[in-house]
Amino acid sequence: MLGIVEQGLILGLMSIGVFISFRIVNMADLTVDGTFALGGALCVRLFSLGLNAPVSLLLSLLAGAGAGILTGFLHRKLKINVLLAGILVMTMLYSINLRIMNGPNLPIPKTSVSASLGTFEQVAGKDPLADLFEPSAPAAAPQKEIAKHRTFENIFLGTADGQDLLLLSAIVLICVALTGLFLRTELGTALRGFGTNPSGLESFGLPKTLMTLLGLGLANAFVSLSGGIFALYSGFADVTMGQGMIVTGLAVVMLGEILFVRRKLVYGIFAPILGGIVYQGILAVVMRYGYRIGFRASDMKLLTALFIVAVIGFGLIQTKKRMKGKFRLSTIFGGGVGRD
């Protein structure tokens, strides 16, 4: 049960990025698949080089933000459709992630040892001219390695005592709180207004390019951070770990919005967190008992996509019903006759 909640929190953190791009900025950003793997690959690589986990996660977050900014730049400056721009950056990141990991995957090492060449005295343990002036003394045993460097400890222990859950909860709460505070500032309010009416916001002197870069950069920063956390949590990074994350993120956001009725609480940012936990719980149940109805693990992506289509279709039907109701009321009070 703890594992489900922990993985759901990581998934929810990733979905906050999807929520920002699709709900706040109102842009279909497909860079997510690449930045999730970028966060994991860069975090594990930096961690294996000796950087501690917080610094590795911070640098991964900045790298993801840079990828989102690149997508926004291609969209605004080069006039490339935002979908195509996201696909281009995602394709670039695939090769970049392979370069970072120097292969398709990279595990987190327990220790990292680096050896360097030294002088004769360091290797042999004696002075080469000492025998000329005094009787030879037993030399110290030669040292094969001059220096050893041990990596910092992983922040996730992998135990079932709840420590990882507390750490993940603290990270998610800090991210949600900071994002909520940012969205209450003048710049955050402008960003939310940009998603609703970009042209109207531009009339107030705020350029679309700045808002696009800010929104996509912030969104992909969350996605890359969650990718780094997932890599540290699972113990490895893989070049395909972000495959299909955009679809999963959309499903989590929609599921959270359905369950989280009061969407105005911190501008709905808690909805992806709740949706991530519920989605992970549903996934665990289906994977455990789905075989009884012929379900396979490979069917999960299909079901996720069908869930998104169903939610969108249901939303359109509800919108049409409300519009018909308003039309009938307007015709009745306006002296006309309501019609179907």
Domains of the chain by residue range: 2-110+150-295, 304-340
Look at domain 2-110+150-295 and name its CATH class.
mainly alpha
In this prediction, residue 255 carries a pLDDT of 84
The β-bridge partners of 105 are 238
Query: Residue 264: exposed, middle, or buried by beta-carbon count in 10 A (0-12, 13-18, 19+)?
Result: exposed
- Angle of helix 32-48 relative to helix 245-259, nearest 10 degrees? 110
Residues contacting residue 121 through CB under 8 Å, at least 6 positions apart: 127, 128
SS3 content of the chain, % helix, strand, coil (to 5): 70, 0, 30
Query: C-alpha distances in angstroms, 334 versus 1, 14, 327?
Result: 58, 49, 10
In this prediction, residue 131 carries a pLDDT of 54
Neighbours of 230 (CB within 10 A): 23
- Written as tens digits, the pLDDT of the chain (340 aa) is 788 888 889 999 999 999 999 888 888 889 999 999 999 999 999 998 888 889 999 999 999 999 999 999 999 999 999 999 999 999 999 999 999 999 898 998 765 444 444 544 554 555 555 555 555 555 554 444 444 455 567 888 777 778 888 999 999 999 999 998 898 888 888 888 888 877 777 777 778 888 999 999 999 999 999 999 999 998 889 998 988 888 888 888 888 888 776 555 555 788 888 888 888 888 888 878 777 777 777 777 788 888 888 877 877 787 777 777 665 655 555 554 444 4
Cα-trace Rg, the chain:
27
Q: Nearest-5° angle of CA 68, CA 190, CA 180?
A: 75
Q: Are 220 and 37 in contact (CB under 8 A)?
A: no
Query: C-alpha distances in angstroms, 86 versus 73, 213, 253, 309?
Result: 11, 13, 19, 21
> What does the DSSP 8-state code read for residue 175?
H
